[in-house]
Amino acid sequence: MHCTAFATADEYHLENLSQDLTSSGYVEVTSLPTDAANILVMGVESSAKEGDPGTIFFFREGAAVFWNVKDKTMKQVMQILERHEVQPYEIALVHWENEELNYMKIEGQSKLHRGEIKLNSELDIDDAILEKFAFSNALCLSVKLAIWEATLDKFIESIQSIPEALKAGKKVKLSHKEAMQKMGELFALRHRINLSSDFLITPDFYWDRENLEELYDKTCQFLSITRRVKVMNEKLQHCMELTDLMRNHLNEKRALRLEWMIVILITIEVMFELGRVFF
């Protein structure tokens, strides 16, 4: 069986999405604990393969994780999802930066082994949903991070000509407004990664659920979340230094231009005074 994750937007309107999906024949799973906030779980009528019910996890942060769901059903759900997205991503990017893991039911404790999820077949439905939630939570982080990695790579591509121009002593064609805009993009991306997401800490939900925390942490390790965040922050720091250098350079040019304007005005005033004295 397959578990597939997509990050499609910055955020979802989960309340409206729940109503829309329910009216389309999907069934909401309401057995999650109250501290599992910002999550919507829906069941599907027919699963892709026998042995496990099809389940979909929607995270408010803009990611969806499909467990044993048919491709046709997945496509239908994604179309409904489009109506409830805030700042949607490019469709090609969404499908390129997805995560897919195989999973199977086994006897014994659930675990992630060699890139394959193994779920305890003896669990009741509620506990099985919780374990799927832990795996899905890590997959959600991975696909969101993948989108931001692609965004940063695109940003780096847009400024890669600047160091070469500086090295060659050429004039950099970048206005003060554009430099500030670039810095704003970097700060926004850095804020998302380090302050408004769970990349750097384990969510509070897992503090008193050690078995779920272990599944979550193991999946994050397998997906190299911590290492990828570290690499992104190093790239962001380098980009910040470069854009800060450009901003200082442009400020110096502006200050020099103002100084010359003052000198010219003073010169004109002196010439008028001299003309009035001698003529």
Residues 21 and 143 in one domain: no
* 159 and 261 together in one domain: yes
Q: What is the tens place of the pLDDT at every residue in 24-46?
A: 999 999 888 888 878 999 999 88
Q: Which pLDDT value is given to residue 274?
A: 80
Q: What's the domain count of the chain?
A: 2
Per-residue pLDDT of the chain (279 residues; tens, 9 = 90+): 999 999 999 999 999 999 999 999 999 998 888 888 789 999 998 888 988 999 999 999 999 999 999 999 999 999 999 999 999 999 999 999 999 999 999 999 999 998 999 999 999 989 999 999 999 999 999 999 999 999 999 988 888 887 777 777 777 677 777 777 888 888 888 888 777 666 667 888 898 899 999 999 999 999 999 999 999 989 988 888 888 777 776 766 777 778 888 888 888 888 888 887 776
pLDDT at 171: 72
Is there a single domain that holds both residue 6 and residue 89?
yes
Same domain for 76 and 149 = no
Helices (H), 97-224: 125-159, 161-167, 176-194, 210-222
Identify whether 66 is part of a domain: yes
- What DSSP element (H or E) covers 4? strand 2-7
Do 186 and 267 fall within a single domain? yes
170: domain range? 139-278
The answer to whether residues 49 and 29 touch, using CB atoms and an 8 Å cutoff, is no
Identify whether residues 21 and 116 lie together within a single domain: yes
* Residues 33, 76 within the same domain: yes
Residue 130 is assigned to a structural domain of this protein: no
Res 160: pLDDT:
81
Instruction: Please give the structure tokens belonging to residue 20.
Output: 């829309």
Torsion 86-150-223-120 (CA) sign: positive
Report d(CA 234, CA 139) in Å as an integer: 23
Using the 3D structure, point to which of 125, 150, 182 is the last residue of a domain: 125
If asked whether residues 268 and 147 sit together in one domain, one would say yes
pLDDT tens-digit profile of 153-171?
A: 998 888 888 777 777 777 7
Comparing C-alpha atoms, which of 127, 120, 90, 88 is closest to residue 104? 120
- Indicate whether 250 and 172 sit together in one domain: yes
Q: In CATH, what number is assigned to the domain containing residue 33?
A: 3.30.310.10
Last residue of a domain, one of 97, 125, 153: 125
Residue 182 and residue 74 share a domain: no
Nearby residues of 50 by Cβ (< 8 Å), 6 or more positions away = none
| CA distance linking residue 161 with residue 178, whole number of Å | 14
State pTM to two decimals: 0.84
What pLDDT, on a 0 to 100 scale, did the predictor assign at position 196? Answer: 66
